[in-house]
Structure 1
Amino acid sequence: MAKSGKRLEELVEELAAPHAAALGLELVGVELVKEGAYRYLRVYIDKEGGVGFDDCEALSRVVDAQLDEILPNPPYDFFEVSSPGLDRPLKREADFARYVGHKVVVTTYAPVDGQKSFVGELQGLVDGRVTLTLTEGKGRGQTIALDRKQVASARLYVEF
């Protein structure tokens, strides 16, 4: 837990969001992950046309300086700011609305009709249900609705 009793990710999101907005960036998310022996605090940003190194550096400078002030002994080893990548995660309602019509991959915590991974065209998030028309695999062409609580992750699908 961070000083205020909030989870570190929530604290960083509240801290970074106004700075990201002032720089014309969208704050996509914040995560604290352990990779090997190290803990990484990552802030993901985006903007129309994509983010560049200068965008990441600008936000990193201001947020890192503030984190140094409020967390003298941070619970992470490295702080990074980056784009969410081509396979951007869809987490907020606004993400689902923005990417209606795009191909996505949705994974569930437990199997639904014998499978946990679904690839299809996103129809939207309505009444707490992620709706997509399957474009691959079992049920191709069918439209399914998965309860948001069943969804472990939803990401843009990347085709090579």
Structure 2
Amino acid sequence: MALQDIAGQTVTGLGYELVEIERSAGGLLRVTIDLPWQPGTPETFVNVEDCEKVTRQLQYALEVEGIDYKRLEVSSPGLDRPLRTERDFERFAGEVVDVTLKAPVGAAGAGLVAANRRKFRGRLEKAEGAGAGWQVVWTDEPAAKPGQKVSRKREAAPLQVLGFTLDELKEARLAPVVDFKGRKARPGAQPEAVGGAEK
């Protein structure tokens, strides 16, 4: 059985979602898990106990299947969680995301977007219309610095919109936005939890 299948069956069998699996140099096997999302329910997050539980079960499954690794690390997706499926995009609609396209935006019809640009950061929204896909909305206006007075006469930079489908994406991740003052928690922010074990 393939590593992806073993990890997927083990993780889903315990009631979690397999987000990512990665083999690194030196025999490190990194598995990222999350709790399944149910629309309309409060967001819940993976904790250290969840990681330990999956680590123990994965160690057993990998040993039974004869998968070679030196160290196993099971963790939560963290602040820069990858978005891969339509369900991921539905779950994090309204959040700030980093999007990388497979092909650069062409000059024709790009509006204010520079030609040959592939990376964008903005608020994720569902595009209007049937089969329209998704869009990223952003402005190139720099954020005001703390204590800086902003003129009321200054015109705001226009909002820019880039529509895309999942087939056009190379990669999409939540933008790791952190508020160090602790006053405003970003909705859906996930504290990082990591559990690991040596083989």
If the TM-score is normalised by the length of the shorter chain, which range does it land in? 0.7 to 0.9
Change in CA separation of 1:130 and 1:41 when aligned onto 2, cut-off 3 Å: farther
Match for 2:20: what amino acid?
Answer: V
Change in CA separation of 1:140 and 1:31 when aligned onto 2, cut-off 3 Å: farther
1:115 correspondence with 2:108: no
Separation in 1, partners of 2:140, 2:13: 40
Q: Which has the larger share of strand?
A: 1
Contact 1:134 1:143 in 2 (8 A): yes
> Bigger CA drift: 100-109 or 117-126?
117-126
Contact 2:32 2:74 in 1 (8 A): yes
1:151 alignment partner in structure 2: 169
The equivalent position to 2:95 in structure 1, one of 88, 94, 102, is 102
1:34 correspondence with 2:29: no
1:18 alignment partner in structure 2: 13
Deviation at 1:117, TM superposition (A): 0.7
Match for 1:148: what amino acid?
Answer: L
> Bigger CA drift: 26-35 or 56-65?
26-35
TM normalised by structure 2 equals 0.63
1:76 correspondence with 2:64: no
1:43 correspondence with 2:27: no
Separation in 1, partners of 2:29, 2:69: 6
Match for 1:117: what amino acid?
Answer: K
Equivalent pairs: percent with the same residue? 30
**Aligned partner of residue 24 in structure 2, secondary structure:** strand
**Aligned partner of residue 44 in structure 1, secondary structure:** strand
2:78 alignment partner in structure 1: 85
Deviation at 1:122, TM superposition (A): 0.6
Separation in 1, partners of 2:49, 2:159: 42
Runs of 4+ in 1 over 4 A off after TM superposition: none
Return the index of the structure with the highest Cα Rg. Answer: 2
Report the RMSD for the aligned CA atoms in angstroms.
2.4
Separation in 2, partners of 1:98, 1:159: 17
Match for 1:131: what amino acid?
Answer: Q
Separation in 2, partners of 1:136, 1:27: 36
Change in CA separation of 1:109 and 1:77 when aligned onto 2, cut-off 3 Å: farther
Match for 1:27: what amino acid?
Answer: E
Deviation at 1:158, TM superposition (A): 1.8
Contact 1:30 1:41 in 2 (8 A): no
Contact 2:19 2:34 in 1 (8 A): no
1:133 alignment partner in structure 2: 137
